[in-house]
Amino acid sequence: MLKTMRNNIQSLKPILWIIVGTFILSIFVVWGGAGRLGEGGRAGTLVAVGRERITTESYGAALKSRIENLKQQYKDLNKTFIEQLNLPQQVLEQMVEQSLIAEQARSLGLRASDDEVAAKIKSFPGLQRDGQFVGYQDYKRVLDYNHINVAEFEDGIRKDIVLTKTVQILTAGVTATPDEVWETYRKDKDSAKIEYLVLDRSKVELDKKPDAAEIRAHFDQSKDSYKIPERREGGLVFYKNDDLKKEVELSESDIQKYYQDNKAQFQNPEKIRVSRIFIPFGKDKDLAQAEAEGVEAKIKAKQDFAALAKVHSKDDKAKDGGDWGTADWRTLPAKEQDEIAKLKAGETTGIVAGDTGLAVDKVTEREGSSVVPLSEAKPRIRSILQDQKARDLAAQRVAKLEKEAKAGKSLDAAAGKANLKVRSTGLLKDGQAFEDIDPSGSIAAALFKMKDKEISAPVYTYGGVGLVDLRKTEAPRPATFDEVKTDAENDVIELRKKDAALARIREIRAKLTDKNWEDIAQKYKVEIKTIDDHKKEQYVGIIGENKDVDAQAFSLPLNQVSEPIAFDNGYALVRVLSRKTVTRADFDKDKDTELATVLEQKKNKFLQSYIAKLKTEKNLKVKYDAFLQTTQEVLSRYDTAK
């Protein structure tokens, strides 16, 4: 589940040169200025990229916006899951990439004119009505509603225009050959309806565990595959945030001040819930109009809207009684949104004509915006301030300890003066997690950048901050049997399961006919899946991406069962039920569009490589303590454990 979500989250990352989308607030926070974060809106620098500065304020606003957008797709998104997805790091990385390109724009002397800014603003779908710009007053009203300053917003648009120009210049030399375009077209358009049967080897049970002799024999035959990588050990003094919270004293005035300085954090926006009945035009618009008028008459006769939606509506929400929730309805056509905005709770629109059909919308709930009262906000504020002050206290103490340790060239001596204990990290691999205080492996990573007896700079983690010195380095070496005995045993078990799974899948294959797949699957307790429109390099549920599945899908004779196909966790059998392939004639009709798509993909790949090179050259330094503190301030709002 987590791996799938990580893949999905990564897929949401926008192509770098298409920065400006349809959501005004999302664009605005990329460049900062959207609301204050932390006590009094601190805006310290997180990363300096030449003359560009990414501040705690702009990063915090961008992170919050990204999370809110994702919550529309992942309703159970919470603090722990956000950290597991590495969402904060992704947001900061994207901001760094944008700043790097902005630096290149400055070196190229690129600018955006007032006319270009105006044209860009007028092009936003959210600022258009019937294909025309809504006008300055409505434009300003939209920004005011989102607490956005007009001048700051337009400055953000100006930067985006310049960024787009920069990318166009950087990627101007990227080309694509006719063969590349044809192959990409085939990959995208060729498809096959496939059915596959899957045997997961984790479901294969062995008669008995391997004995000691078998494990030893396997180890002796595979010694070269068992190695102990370089490991390093350090002495560590660590200030744990949770411990320091006990020393934090908060007054009522502290809580009240935070509440007053950060009112935007505690504002609940207006909540509107919408239901919809949609009737597509189809081949006969008059017939659709007649059906819509019939539905409208039934609504006026007080018939249940949800029941009518299940019968008449023809969109994805029909099965849910036409419920578009409190957020999804904002993706409806602008004309519908305008009509919805006029309604009170319980009211319905008339028939709203769109490009593809007719709609009737109903506001099922409408609650005005509100502010969370201080009495309800206190627990969250207390948690935020305790975390902030504990981190501040840890930073002060570790800075003092660092000064003492480096002056005396001894972490032990400095720790002794402060009545602190130095503990051993034990031998760690590069990037290995250390207990619950450092799941990301920052302490181990610091050790691998140090010389013998060197004392580190403060190492910040989600759990706190510490100092570490390098005390021992163990070179990589072949492992002894005793060191990897458990690993060797597990490997033998997996090999035996793999052999057993292969034997069973071959047995299954021998008994399969065109019509008995369901019976065989039930008898052998294996799964059958169908993909109606499989394409090359497509992720296949359970199996994942698999070149052998692709090869069989586009070469195997119809209804013939493939040989066993291995994947990470087992084996699969595939058969092709039908296949669609494109011709050169098809390609000739679409080749201009396809060329544009291939060029975009190649430019994006080039740009990623170019940015990676810039990152290396710039040797950017992130103020990790400020990054963590700002991250925790934002994530505290999504901590469902509280």
Domain ranges of the chain: 2-174+604-638, 191-208+483-580, 231-262+374-478, 270-368
Residue 532: CA atoms inside 13 Å, Cβ hemisphere, count? Answer: 0
Please state whether the predicted TM-score (pTM) of the whole model is above 0.75: no
Among the residue ranges 26-30, 183-187, 207-211, the one predicted with the least confidence is 26-30
Mean pLDDT to the nearest integer, 134-144? 81
Distance CA 106, CA 378 (A): 45
Which residue, among 490, 570, 567, has the nearest Cα to 526 in the 3D structure? 570
Mean pLDDT to the nearest integer, 266-295? 88
CATH topology of domain 231-262+374-478: Chitinase A; domain 3 (3.10.50)
Is the pLDDT assigned to residue 487 strictly greater than 70? yes
Q: What is the pLDDT of residues 110-123, one digit of tens each?
A: 998 989 989 988 88
Mean pLDDT to the nearest integer, 92-98? 89
CATH topology of domain 2-174+604-638: Triger factor/SurA peptide-binding fold (1.10.4030)
pLDDT score, position 221: 94
| pLDDT-derived band at 69, boundaries 50, 70, 90 | confident
pLDDT score, position 43: 55
Q: What is the pLDDT of residues 580-623, one digit of tens each?
A: 999 999 999 999 999 999 999 999 899 989 988 888 888 788 88
Domain 270-368 in the same topology as domain 231-262+374-478: yes
| pLDDT-derived band at 40, boundaries 50, 70, 90 | very low
pLDDT score, position 434: 92
Is the pLDDT assigned to residue 133 strictly greater than 90? no
Place of tokens 């809106």: 41
Distance CA 151, CA 173 (A): 35
Residue 422 near residue 236 (C-beta atoms within 8 A): yes
- Sheet bearing 565-567, strands edge to edge: 527-534, 191-200, 570-580, 565-567
pLDDT score, position 146: 66
Is the pLDDT assigned to residue 177 strictly greater than 70? yes
Coil/strand/helix, residue 404 = helix
- Looking at the domain that runs over 270-368, which CATH code has it been given? 3.10.50.40
| pLDDT-derived band at 629, boundaries 50, 70, 90 | confident
pLDDT score, position 564: 96
| pLDDT-derived band at 326, boundaries 50, 70, 90 | confident
Q: Which residues of 156-167 are buried (b: 16+ CB within 10 A; e: fewer)?
A: bbbbbbbbbbbb
pLDDT score, position 227: 94
pLDDT score, position 641: 55
Mean pLDDT to the nearest integer, 402-418? 95
